[in-house]
Amino acid sequence: MNETLKSITERYSCRAYEDTPLTDEQIKTLIDAALISPSGMNLQPWHLTVVTDKALLEELDADGVAILAAMEDKKRYERIMSRGGKMLYNAPCLIIVTNDGSKWAAIDSGVICQTVTLAAHSMGLGSCILGLGGVPLLGPRGEEFKNRLQIPEGYEFAIGILVGISKIGPAPHEHVMDKVTYIK
């Protein structure tokens, strides 16, 4: 199996991280990979915010968990609580992908996530694509957080990517073959 397919096969969603910060070189490598991701017509409708400030990460996490706890539907909150009560899983780095909302921006943002998570895995790092990463931006402190995160005017949260040194190994990943139809 070639190295690319090996990374695709072995990558998993890491939900427990060591308390070790990423190096500047590791972050640069991940961002370089993200920035060469393909996008429709090469419009690159994204903006990346790299958060390694531990205090800010803890604030985002606490606000996110509080917002989930206050929701009528408790499924997301209960899932987070069953996994240790941390929405950001103590990751030392959160890459926030925002985009301009243009026609293909959501797809292009997804491509960045896949690129970064595969790059992280190839570097021996754990990662997790985090849809809930935008929850704190929707709460009472949402505008404050957007300002502190320097989210560009007109850009909205698309997805988050957690990256760090994994504390645990991968959970088994099973193929769900009924999700595939072959037409010959």
**Domain for residue 98, yes or no?**
yes
What's the CATH code of the domain at 59? Answer: 3.40.109.10
**Domain for residue 44, yes or no?**
yes
- Rounded to whole angstroms, the Cα distance separating 14 from 130 reads 11
pTM: predicted TM-score of the whole model, two decimal places = 0.93
**Domain for residue 174, yes or no?**
yes
Short-list 118, 101, 136, CA closest to 109: 101
Per-residue H/E/C for 90-149: CCCEEEEEEECCCCCHHHHHHHHHHHHHHHHHHCCCEEEEEHHHHHHHHCCCHHHHHHHC
As for how many domains the chain has, the answer is 1
Containing structural domain, residue 141: 3-179
**Domain for residue 184, yes or no?**
no
**Domain for residue 85, yes or no?**
yes
Encoded tokens for 143: 């505008």
**Tens place of pLDDT per residue across the chain (184 aa):** 898 898 888 899 999 999 999 999 999 999 999 999 999 999 999 999 999 999 999 999 999 999 999 999 999 999 999 989 999 999 999 999 999 999 999 999 999 999 999 999 999 999 999 999 999 998 999 999 999 999 999 999 999 999 999 998 777 677 788 889 999 9
